[in-house]
Amino acid sequence: MQYGMIIDLNRCVGCHACTIACKAEWEVPADKGRNWVHRLGPSNTPEGLASTYYPGLCNHCNEPSCVPACPADTIEKTFKDAKTGKTKTMEVAATYKDPFNGTVQIDKDRCLGCGACADACPYGARYVNTDLVNEEIGGEGVADKCSYCMPRVEQGLDPACVQTCLANARIFGDLDDPNSEVAKYVKKGAVGLTSAAVNIGPNSRYYGNKKDMHLLTSTSTPMEMPSASLRRSLMARMKPGFNKAKNLGFLGLAGAVLVKGLSEDDQD
């Protein structure tokens, strides 16, 4: 199974109901977004004058660049297939790709809030919610993004943005099921925003007429892979040790030595 979403540009009216529903469902800060709608055009294209929208969200990629960028220590996690009951145990960091439904998720209880995953996403689909802080870990907040509303999906509901879309422009389902509506859209020509440098298998895809699709792909396709900040990742790994040292009352050189030792212990 690979969950995916189709955005039908022929239907989208740019009303922003999807973004508002997402903010309400997940208590997203007003200045942040797990999804977005950007207006494109009017602009000339080889196919004629075009005006459309770019409704963006996490692409739950086949090879997500955010997953290897996460500096959190890995733990053993067991996943379960909701349909078959089959299980699989994997070593995962705070962000990971579910082996059964294909979605990319964040373990917010373990997120260091460093933003390395956000830096690594070529689609700009992640942000750090500074309103949330893991007290034990510290950090500057907790990473957040579209989760395809998996808690809702597991209850048999559509993602909040799909349910709220007034024009039925958002279609959600299993891309691996040839009988699903999303799979049929792919057969009709729905595509992800990929380039030679950014070809990591996005599973949020777009469908529309030639001129609107040309406008979308020419303006909104990422053309290079970003890289996560190594310094930010290293500082995030040291933060828990620093907090422990501070709580024990160590300062200066002694505190620095203790931080180094605790950081090494955390990796064992």
- 126/255: higher pLDDT: 126
Mean pLDDT of the chain: 89
Secondary structure (3-state) at 87: strand
Write the DSSP symbol of residue 50.
E
Q: Does 265 score more than 50 pLDDT?
A: no
Query: Are 52 and 66 in contact, with CB atoms under 8 Å apart?
Result: no
Average pLDDT over residues 106-130: 95
pLDDT of residue 238: 54
Q: What is the pLDDT of residue 201?
A: 98
Please state, in angstroms and rounded to a whole number, the distance separating the CA atoms of residues 96 and 56: 20
Whose CA is closest to 75, among 90, 64, 86, 63? 90
Q: Express as a percent the part of the chain with pLDDT over 90.
A: 79
Residue 88 has pLDDT above 50, yes or no: yes
**In which region does residue 187 sit, left (phi positive, over 0), alpha (psi from -120 to 50) or beta (all else)?**
alpha
**pLDDT category, 242, cuts 50, 70, 90?**
very low
Q: Residue 101: is its pLDDT beyond 70? A: yes
Q: Structural domains in the chain?
A: 3-220 (3.30.70.20), 237-267 (no CATH)
Would you place residue 135 in the very low, low, confident or very high pLDDT band (cuts 50, 70, 90)? Answer: confident
Cα of 191 vs its chain's centroid, Å: 18
Calpha distance 235→111 (Å, rounded): 13
